[in-house]
Copies of this chain bind each other. A is one copy, B any other.
């Protein structure tokens, strides 16, 4: 009754959005790099400056036209594994899938950087979010992804506990915010079991490695560690 791994769906998900025209970017070659002249600043880096205001037109959707060209993503609700969110909501399987999509976008960015001989990111950076947007994944954005990183971490590190928490909070009718808060504590326990090295816990996990440890989680660990050592020693 511990890690059960790899059971949870990768199935339907994302019922309410229909942006999947991406997903299958084969790591293509993009042709020979073109021999950039060395003493110059750098090659044009994936439309960082250029094409900046190409955002989706906001505030222009006609009411009644629903489901597509949505102004903002439907909010998440607490769903149990495999459960499809009903109504104008997204489920947690979909949330977690977003993290996997980001990992794929990071792969692509790394591929491109390597081809160009540029610095190669090891984490999901601004550049990756920019790339995702460019590829049409407009439903991915930094604040959202950072907001739920620790929930995804629990999902990666202890599927069992993660699933249990989802069921529990769903049952109780708790909102997403409450569930999200609750996700911190199992992680703090895990950090404790690993000598309080939360960074290491992330880095040792294949999927988590690419995500920054959230500040709040790091702080919680530090706080708890201080409490621990206060109460059982006076060094």
Cβ–Cβ contact A226 & B32, under 8 A: yes
Cβ–Cβ contact B38 & A220, under 8 A: yes
Cβ–Cβ contact A119 & B218, under 8 A: yes
Q: A226 to B31: give the CA distance in the assembly, Å.
A: 12
Question: Which residues of A from 123 to 146 have beta carbons under 8 Å from B?
Answer: none
B residues less than 8 Å from A230 (CB atoms)? 32
Cβ–Cβ contact B226 & A33, under 8 A: yes
Q: Which residue of chain B has its CB nearest to the CB of A42?
A: B215
**A36 CB–B CB distance under 8 Å:** yes
Number of interface residues of A (CB under 8 A): 24
**A167 CB–B CB distance under 8 Å:** no
Q: A222 to B218: give the CA distance in the assembly, Å.
A: 38
Q: Which residue of chain B has its CB nearest to the CB of A41?
A: B215
Q: Give 1 or 0 for each of A192-235: 1 = CB within 8 Å of chain B CB.
A: 00000001000000000000010110111111011000100000
Number of copies of this chain in the oligomer?
2
- Residue of B35, B38, B216 touching A38 (CB-CB under 8 A): B216
Cβ–Cβ contact A219 & B120, under 8 A: no
Question: Which residues of A from 9 to 43 have beta carbons under 8 Å from B?
Answer: 32-33, 35-36, 38, 42
B residues less than 8 Å from A213 (CB atoms)? 119
Q: A221 to B199: give the CA distance in the assembly, Å.
A: 32
Cβ–Cβ contact A223 & B119, under 8 A: no
Minimum CB–CB distance from A204 to chain B (whole Å) comes to 15
Cβ–Cβ contact A223 & B35, under 8 A: yes
Pick the 10 closest A-B CB pairs, nearest first.
A117-B222, A38-B219, A35-B226, A38-B223, A117-B218, A33-B226, A117-B219, A117-B221, A38-B220, A120-B199
Task: Give me the interface of A with B, judged by CB distance under 8 Å.
Answer: 32-33, 35-36, 38, 42, 116-120, 199, 213, 215-216, 218-223, 225-226, 230
